[in-house]
Structure 1
Amino acid sequence: MLKADSKKTRFIVPGRCVMNVTPLILRIVAMQTSRGQCCVLVLAGVFLLSTPYHAVQAGKILVFPVDGSHWVNMNLLIQGLHARGHQITVVRTASSWYVKENSPYYDSITVTLPEPINIEDEEFFVSFLSKMLEIQRSGASLLAFIKFYWEMMTGLSNMHRQASQLVVEIFENQALMEQIQKAHYDLVLTDPGLPAGVLVAHKMKLPTVFNVRWITSGEGHFVIAPSPVSYVPTSGCAVSDKMTFLERAKNMFHYLLNMCIDHFVVSPHYDQLAKRYFGPDANFYHMLQGTDLWLMRVDFVFEFPRLTMPNVVYIGGFQCKPSKPLPPELEDFVQGSGDDGVILMSLGTLVKGLPIEITSEIAAAFAQLPQRVIWRHPGERPHNLGNNTLLVKWMPQNDLLGHPKTRAFVAHGGTNGIYESIYHGVPVLGLPLLFDQFENVLRLEVRGAAKVLDVTKLNSQRFLEALRELLHEPSYRENMQRLSRLHRDKPVHPMDSALYWIEFVMRHKGAAHLRTESYKMPWYSYHSLDVMAFLLAIVSILGAIVVATVRFMFLRLCRNRKSKLE
């Protein structure tokens, strides 16, 4: 990378030449007084002239993240963009618990909401998980389940109502709007799981890039690409792409349920804002579907094959990287495992929500293994904990997964952990808890790289048997290492691809040529129902004409015969 006179102009390899760098090189060489320095710079100039470059203006990017685990991967993109000279501004709420106000990588705009968003409250999901596990384990009545589901839908509606207030607080704050306008941002980068950034970008008429897998209605592909539910699993339905009749019926049910939830529970909050600030004809989903580029956190080594669109760029596993050396005390613990190796366990931020009875069963199973265990567990200390188990509040997960002594990973099935497991070729024992985790571990199980257990039916014996099978059956590791080879075999690292396409949208002030306008069509036109009705009408008319002609000819023939007989 070579920086010119100011921070605004940079040169990035590779690409096609869009500007002549010869005058710049000659000017630098002319400024040198040492003969040796001239020689070195001339060689550098030859290299520059022989390498294709394209110039990129180091731009200003406005970022709307989602808190929690979503922030982990958004923060990586921010760091990558910052390293390439871009100025980043992150819009956060005052109650955010992951997105910090001060950072060396970005400036921030902090907005105070009338009430915090549920997703920014750690205790909300812990409480939610505890209630769900209690209902499933106790075999509660249908009435109790319906009551819980109603509470869940109410919580979902409240979360999006709270998130939509971010748009109101920005649009109604004249000083803040002037600040955003005067900054002259080049791009909005947003996670549309909570889509406030979509509306702000539309208001500012700025190109938009999504860092996305999930949107308000579920998996992102469903609103931009044809997604036949006959072979594309829908959100919340843990089935493969090879479904039986009953599985296809279940998949269709989940698809319709998701559409109803989105239409009646989620979208009204954003449709109301769209009509309030953009006029009665404004449609929130048209704004969502009209984004320039979708950076999809998906790799088809993991995802089932499906239809896609030109403005979707796949960056699944972009957070993965080679492991670094462990801290000395952790390295000593790992090396002490000998040939048996170590097992990692992490259930993400929700681990505090697991009942002590379940964690104690897990601990008892671990105690019977010859392997050592590193368990990320910030909650109450389990009973039956063996001497081979180390409890930690945090661990360098990527570095441990990449360690040669790591034998297995006990995980809840979060996307980040799944991709790190694939990258390092470590088989998974899945204990899914919420949301997409069930679908994630199923995808690995179908490929023979994971074994999945139901947490609500877990005991030490079942857990021990499953873990021993994962450790001693070679096919699990072999299948995961095969996925690892496929995942790594790319011409460009997914992170580099993500950064390139973000800068592509900035250079060209959008990517409308990659975006279909089909979302603007009425539903009956999109599915060609009007054309089919027209063709059916034509065929019917022609059929009626033919029938009428034949009938007329037949009747005329009958009259002629009757006349001759008379």
Structure 2
Amino acid sequence: MGLLPGFSSVVLAMALALLNAASVHGGKVLVFPVDGSHWINMNLLIEGLHTRGHEVTVVRTSTSWYIKEQSPHYHSITIPLSEAMNLEKQDFFVQFLAKMLVLQKEGASVMAFVSFYRQMLTTLSNIHHQACQVAEKMFKDKALMQSLRDAQYDVVLMDPGLPFGVLFAHELKLPTVFNVRWITSGEGHFVVAPSPVSYVPTSGSAVTDKMTFLQRVRNMFHFLLNIAIDNLVVSPHYNRLVEKYLEPGTNFYQLLQGADIWLMRVDFVFEFPRPTMPNIVYVGGFQCKPSKPLPADLEDFVQSSGEHGVILMSLGSLVKGLPVEITNQIAAAFAQLPQKVIWRLPGEPPSTLGNNTMLVKWMPQNDLLGHPKVKAFVAHGGTNGIYEAIYHMVPIVGIPLLFDQFENILRLEVRGAAKGVDVTKLTSQNFVETLQEVLHNPSYRDNMKRMSDLHRDKPMHPLDTALFWTEFVMRNKGAAHLRTESYKLPWYSYHSLDVMCLLLAVLSLLAALVVLSVYFLCFKLCRRKDKLE
């Protein structure tokens, strides 16, 4: 017993030493995030880095929607803006969705669609122009730039959806880690990894990895369209910044491709198989975690559902853009079911709302999905919600609205874990039929359970994996040994067109020599024959 006090003091000393070591080796991280739903993922990484003893500094604008100036997990650098960027306006995507639904529902003319997409591309250009204005404000602020240099950061962590952070990483000579799914030209893999469009679906094409000929044509069309949009609409803004503020010969796209580590928010349980690269680390679903107990009012409502269980519905922040007639159809469908419904719906309640439906302005989505009484999840197909549903084994009724949501629901449908509904053709009748199929056909839940088992069967939680590789870059001053240099090759060298041209020229020369030789021999033989005659 006399040894215990001494033993306790040794343990205490070792614990203090470990704590001191953690603080000594804590690094400094400069973060360039994207506002909106992207911030949810980035903030988790920031909290994790802060917990591990790192000092985090976040670059934000004065008009940021989600990214607050004050936080216990990070310091902030606020760039003043007189007007909010489009992505930071809460009604921006709502208005965009409303216009899109009107065009689709009313069967608008080709010219109306062309006009809409021209407006969409103009808006996309403006978004990246606004991002470059933020960067320009920073470059022009000599005091700010000097403070960034003096801070001696270890790494730049950024979301390349708005990629101006790569310019500052280059200027400060810092390694870069991307927290990425989307990039200027679409899905991030297409920038850093080989992407044969014969079996790798392109952003916007909404096809599987098993394509018919016509689907491959469509996939190629979207691939070329994405490249054209990136080169003609997006990249010029950043190229002008590079020419103005970085040394001659610097190439923006090479800066983008040259990130040390790509933390890809992808899991192949959900994605289709495709080629990858050594510096791509897969962290899909890193926001997922076990559920916590519900607030008392929600728990009472959930328990009141009895054996029928609960349906959960959330369409994210875009739900305010749905027309009243669609929300009325949805509410009328819910009213026909024996299940209880918890529906995240800001704004006015639908006139057809049933007694079995609780409307909330916010809900603990992860905790509800983890509740054993939740039987189905009505969702728009956002990546965060899908991975949480996979984690908690809840089948999905999909109502995709915009962007990659159609592709996300398609992936789940292929795996038998979801069924989608076209929002422009939604009626209370077809919505009820879809809900009943997902609720009563056990294959949907079984397939989702299979996906969940595969998703969870990992040596490390995806968040721990993301934090490890971020710290790996900090410890090793980059990860150049994992990064291919192929991005520095001109396009004709990357595709070996110059080699093929050389081989073709050599073969042509050899063929010409053979032809000429045969011609010469024939000519000689003919002349000899003429002489003999």
Tell me by how many angstroms 1:183 deviates. 1.0
Q: 1:204 to 1:139 in 2, by over 3 A?
A: same
**Equivalent-residue separation in structure 2 for 1:113 and 1:173 (angstroms):** 14
What residue number does 1:20 align with?
none
2:349 matched residue in structure 1: 381
Give the Cα separation in 1 of the matches to 2:125 and 2:201.
24
Q: CA deviation at 1:111?
A: 0.2
- Equivalent residues of 2:316, 2:380 under 8 A apart: yes
Alpha-carbon distance between aligned partners in 1 of 2:11 and 2:95, rounded to the nearest angstrom: 64
Structure number with greater CO (CA < 8 Å, separation at least 6) is 2
CA distance in 1, matches of 2:22, 2:215: 50
Task: Please point out which of 62, 81, 95 is paired with 2:49.
Answer: 81
Counterpart of 2:237?
269
Query: Pairwise mapping of residues 135-154 of structure 1 onto structure 2 (< 5 A)?
Result: 135-154=103-122
1:164-215 alpha-carbon deviations (Å, 9 max, x no partner) = 1111011100111111111111110000000121111111110100000000
Structure 1 unaligned residues grouped into runs of 5+: 1-33
Matched, 1:549 2:517: yes
Write the letter of the residue equivalent to 1:428. Answer: I
Is the 1:57–1:507 Cα contact (8 Å) retained in structure 2?
no
Query: Aligned partners of 1:465, 1:56: CA distance in 2, in Å?
Result: 60
CA displacement at 1:54 relative to structure 2: 11
Residue identity (%): 69
Secondary structure at 1:88 match in 2: strand
Q: Deviations over 1:74-100 (max 9, x none)?
A: 000000000000000000000001000
> 1:267-326, CA deviations, whole angstroms, 9 ceiling, x for partnerless residues?
110011011112443211010001111000000000000000000000000000011111
Give the whole-Å Cα distance in 1 for the aligned partners of 2:312 and 2:255.
43
Cα distance in 2 for partners of 1:518, 1:114 equals 41
* Deviation of 1:436 (Å): 0.7
- The CA distance in 2 between the partners of 1:312 and 1:482, in whole Å, is 25
Q: Does 1:284 align with 2:271?
A: no
Out of 449, 469, 492, the residue aligned to residue 460 of structure 2 is: 492
1:353 aligns with 2:321: yes
Show CA shifts across 1:123-151 (max 9, x none). Answer: 11111111111111111222221111111
3-state SS of the aligned residue for 2:292?
coil
Aligned to 1:208: 176
The aligned counterpart of 1:177 is: 145
Instruction: Determine if contact 2:34/2:161 at 8 Å carries over to the other structure.
Output: yes
2:28 to 57, 60, 63: 60
Quick one: which of 386, 393, 398 aligns to 1:425?
393
Question: What is the CA distance between 1:45 and its match in structure 2?
Answer: 9.4
Alpha-carbon separation, structure 2, partners of 1:282 and 1:500: 30
1:188-267 alignment runs, 5 A limit: 188-267=156-235
| AA at the equivalent of 1:542 | L
1:422-454 Cα deviation digits (max 9, x unpaired):
001100000001111111111001100000011
CA-to-aligned-CA distance 1:220-242 (integer Å, 9 cap, x gap): 00011110111111011111000
1:340 aligns with 2:308: yes
- CA spacing shift, 1:375–1:474, aligned 2, 3 Å: same
**Residue of structure 2 aligned with 1:307, choices 275, 285, 292:** 275
- The answer to whether the 8 A contact 1:113-1:165 is kept is no
Q: Check conservation: 1:352, 1:380, Cα contact below 8 A.
A: no
Alignment-mate amino acid for residue 255 of structure 1: F
**1:558 equivalent in alignment to 2:526:** yes
Alpha-carbon separation, structure 1, partners of 2:255 and 2:127? 20
- Selected match of 1:527 from 487, 492, 495: 495
Structure 2 contact 205–219 (Cα < 8 Å) conserved: yes
Cα deviation code 1:314-363 (max 9, x no counterpart): 00000000111111111111011011100000000111111111001000
Matched, 1:155 2:117: no
1:407 to 375, 398, 410: 375
Match of 2:155 among 180, 187, 190: 187
**Shift in Å at residue 46 of structure 1?**
10
Select 1:518's aligned residue among 486, 495, 498: 486
Q: From the superposition, tell whether residues 119 and 47 of structure 1 become closer, same or farther in structure 2 (CA, over 3 Å).
A: closer
Please give the alpha-carbon distance, in whole angstroms, between the structure 2 residues aligned to 1:524 and 1:41.
67
In the alignment, which of 284, 291, 305 is matched to residue 316 of structure 1?
284
Is this contact kept in 2: 1:364–1:384, CA < 8 A?
yes
Aligned length: 529
1:102 counterpart (70, 76, 81)? 70
Aligned with 1:456 (options 402, 418, 424): 424
Provide the rounded CA distance (Å) in 2 between the counterparts of 1:98 and 1:531: 51
Tell me the amino acid that sits aligned with residue 99 of structure 2. Answer: K
TM-score by length of 2: 0.97
Does the residue aligned with 1:370 lie in a helix, a strand or coil? coil
Report the Cα offset of residue 513 of structure 1.
0.6
SS in structure 2 opposite 1:309?
coil
CA-based RMSD of the aligned residues comes to 1.8
Given candidates 416, 428, 434, the residue that maps to 2:384 is 416
The structural deviation recorded for 1:564 is: 3.0
Confirm or deny: 8 A CA contact 2:393 2:445 kept in the other structure: yes
SS in 1 for 2:419: strand
The separation in 2 between residues aligned to 1:174 and 1:55, in whole angstroms, is 31
